């Protein structure tokens, strides 16, 4: 299963925020952690949206019954 660039971008942002936690002063750690959590949330939401959209494409469409 392949995910779009948008999903991978937000996962990369989350990892970047966590990597930058080390050089950040303790006073501002909340900024890195909150941005990492926010971008991780967007990654999960976009990934779920793409998975559900592709899952819906595989199913045959129901036909309308003729009356």
Q: How far is CA 12 from CA 6, 23, 28, 36, 52, in A?
A: 10, 18, 20, 9, 22
Tally of domains in the chain: 1
Task: Tell me which residue range forms the domain holding 34.
Answer: 5-57
Q: Which of 33, 40, 32 is nearest to 10 (CA)?
A: 40
Q: With bands split at pLDDT 50, 70 and 90, how would you rate the model's confidence at 66?
A: low
In terms of pLDDT, which residue wins out, 59 or 67?
Answer: 59
Q: What is the pLDDT of residue 54?
A: 85
Q: What is the pLDDT of residue 55?
A: 82
3-state secondary structure of 2: coil
Q: Examine residue 65 and state whether it is found in any structural domain, yes or no.
A: no
Residue 47, H or E segment: helix 29-58
Q: Examine residue 64 and state whether it is found in any structural domain, yes or no.
A: no
Q: What is the pLDDT of residue 65?
A: 66
Q: Examine residue 62 and state whether it is found in any structural domain, yes or no.
A: no
Q: Examine residue 33 and state whether it is found in any structural domain, yes or no.
A: yes
The predicted-structure confidence for 7-65, as pLDDT tens digits, reads as follows: 999 999 999 999 999 999 999 999 999 999 999 999 999 999 999 988 877 666 666 76
């Amino acid at each position: 299963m392949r995910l779009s660039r948008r999903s991978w971008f937000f996962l990369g942002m989350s990892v970047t925020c966590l990597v930058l936690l080390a050089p950040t002063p303790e006073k501002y750690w909340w900024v890195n952690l909150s941005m990492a959590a926010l971008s991780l949330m967007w990654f999960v939401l976009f990934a779920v949206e793409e998975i559900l959209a592709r899952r819906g494409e595989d199913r045959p469409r129901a036909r309308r019954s003729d009356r």
